[in-house]
A and B are shown apart, each in its own frame.
Chain A
């Protein structure tokens, strides 16, 4: 079965550079979530999109932005990178419920490991 695809899997950047992470949800999943997992930490919710509109926002820095495109893939753009942005970034997707809106089960991609030097 198709899973969530994230690219790149590993990314190394210098401080103050920019990074773009991509997420391709499971086919026919129209909701995408982004999470950040720092070293030894639990994942923290950043932002979510449903039907290409932002649906919820968590602890996402103003330096970060994200969007969902017409094909439902999503990109997380990170600018002015800081050392503290080094983390594993997960994307997850969920399907649409029969009543509209999302179902509550999320399927995670393998993550993008970002290292900021």
Chain B
């Protein structure tokens, strides 16, 4: 069965410092992995996705993630945090069933950015 584990429920960083949000996955085959961001009372916005074309994936708003098969990890990083990055971040693995892909979400990491 597919699953993802987000290792931190809360992360606090100062504005202008690097961001690291950690995600480990479990999959019986080469997974499709995603990071989504959810701002308060808003929907889910796709940040980036990994689908085996390249291990380093660049997303929107300066975020990127590196797929490491040996560590079963897909951590999300950003070199310099901005106040607007404060939100909930979800690591997601897709699970193929009957021709469609349901999403399995991690429990989320709430990012706080301090001025």
Assembled-state Cα–Cα distance A102/B98 (Å): 10
Interface of B is mostly: strand
One digit per residue, 1 when the CB lies within 8 angstroms of any chain B CB and 0 when it does not, for chain A 1-41 equals 00000000000000000000000000000010101000000
Whether B43 pairs with A55 at a CB distance below 8 angstroms is no
Q: How large is the interface on A (under 10, 10 to 19, 20 to 34, 35 or more residues)?
A: 20 to 34
Residue in A31, A109, A110, A113 whose CB lies within 8 Å of B100 = A31
Whether B103 pairs with A33 at a CB distance below 8 angstroms is yes
Residue in A33, A90, A92, A101 whose CB lies within 8 Å of B99 = A101
Residue in A44, A56, A92, A113 whose CB lies within 8 Å of B97 = A56
Q: Which of B61-103 contact A (CB under 8 A)?
A: 90, 94, 96-103
Assembled-state Cα–Cα distance A109/B101 (Å): 17
Q: Which residues of A contact B24 (CB under 8 A)?
A: none
Interface of A is mostly: strand
28 CB < 8 A contacts A-B: A33-B103, A42-B90, A42-B108, A43-B44, A43-B90, A43-B105, A44-B105, A45-B102, A45-B104, A48-B102, A55-B99, A56-B97, A56-B102, A58-B102, A90-B43, A92-B103, A103-B101, A104-B32, A104-B49, A104-B51, A104-B96, A105-B34, A105-B49, A106-B101, A106-B103, A107-B46, A108-B44, A108-B45
Residues in chain A within 8 A of chain B (CB atoms): 31, 33, 35, 42-45, 48, 50, 55-56, 58, 90, 92, 94, 100-111, 113
Assembled-state Cα–Cα distance A94/B34 (Å): 14
Nearest Cβ in chain A — how far from B69, in angstroms?
A: 18
Q: Which residues of B contact A104 (CB under 8 A)?
A: 32, 49, 51, 94, 96, 101
